[in-house]
Amino acid sequence: MKIISFLNFKGGVGKTTSTHCIGAALSELGKKVLLVDMDPQGTLSFFSTEEIINKSTFDLLLRKAGVTDCIMKLEEFDLIPSTIDLTVAELQLNITYNKEYRLKNSLSEIKENYDYILIDCPPSLSIFTLNSLVASTDLIIPCECELASMDGLNLLLKSLEDAINELNPTLNILGILPTKLDGRKKISGEIYEVLKESHPNIFPAIRINSKLSELGIEKKSIFKSDKNSKGAKDYLDIAKVIANV
Ligand SMILES: Nc1ncnc2c1ncn2[C@@H]1O[C@H](COP(=O)(O)OP(=O)(O)OP(=O)(O)O)[C@@H](O)[C@H]1O
Ligand SMILES: [Mg+2]
């Protein structure tokens, strides 16, 4: 089993879209999947369900509920959702012991029930990101095919080094995931080529696709709303690489 965090300190690069779509794609491949929303913005939860959220990562991290009580069983995957309440958990966690280990300890109780646990991180090196890094076996770094993203990527890899060495030295960087490849812009393809040259562990790129920007409207995955879309095809290819099929 793998626990994979989707992380980049830059906002809007496709962390949540990738967590959601790769989770659904792995489910298409017959894998048992749990998604964990570690972002107080709650976008992954918004994409996944319209059910009322009773227990969330807030309750999990502050030990207000057991892990099984926080799991929502959805059609394609299970979800530990988040709500804006999570914002205040940061202050409370700061005065607790083992504050970076709370997610890992909780997931250890249920991880054997899943083939993949995917964690959506917020765009910062917060206590939620540190909990995700500690709990994970692997890391995927979504990176937009844009000029500004390349500098950010090198900075990110450098600033992660210390956190990984201190907190989880066996954490494996599974790969960089180029997102929002725009076939109409020459520069977008050129940046993808540069990324490929400078990073050996790079996934095939996800193309810009309007269907992907509509997640959350129907609360359905891209595979249920339009499995023939470019977005569905691209993310299924990534899931096949991850699952080695
Ligand atoms: N391949 C794509 N094609 C078109 N739109 C996309 C694609 N990937 C992501 N988007 C859109 O880009 C925006 C940002 O995506 P997303 O929320 O997944 O990024 P994020 O990195 O999780 O952002 P944040 O840092 O705020 O958490 C969203 O509006 C999403 O619909
Ligand atoms: Mg997000």
Kindly report, residue by residue over 115-150, the tens digit of the pLDDT. 999 999 999 999 999 999 999 999 999 999 998 888
pLDDT of residue 42: 97
Q: Is the CB of 14 under 6 A from ligand 1?
A: yes
The ligand 1 atom at the shortest distance from the C-alpha of residue 8 is: 21
The helix (run of H) or strand (run of E) holding residue 93 is: helix 86-93
Residue nearest to atom 29 of ligand 1 (CA): 213
In the DSSP assignment, the letter for residue 126 is -
pLDDT of residue 154: 87
121 close to 129: Cβ distance less than 8 angstroms:
yes
- Distance, CA of 227 to CA of 233 (rounded, Å): 7
Matching residue, tokens 């109780």:
109
> pTM here?
0.97
* Contacts of residue 49, Cβ cutoff 8 Å, sequence gap at least 6: 72, 74, 79, 81, 219
**CA torsion angle for 216, 11, 4, 204 (degrees, to 10)?**
90
pLDDT digits (tens, 9 = 90+) for 181-208: 999 999 999 999 999 998 989 999 999 9
How far, in Å, from the CA of 21 to the mean position of ligand 1?
11
pLDDT tens string 146-158: 988 888 898 899 9
Nearest-10 crossing angle of helices 230-243, 15-28: 70
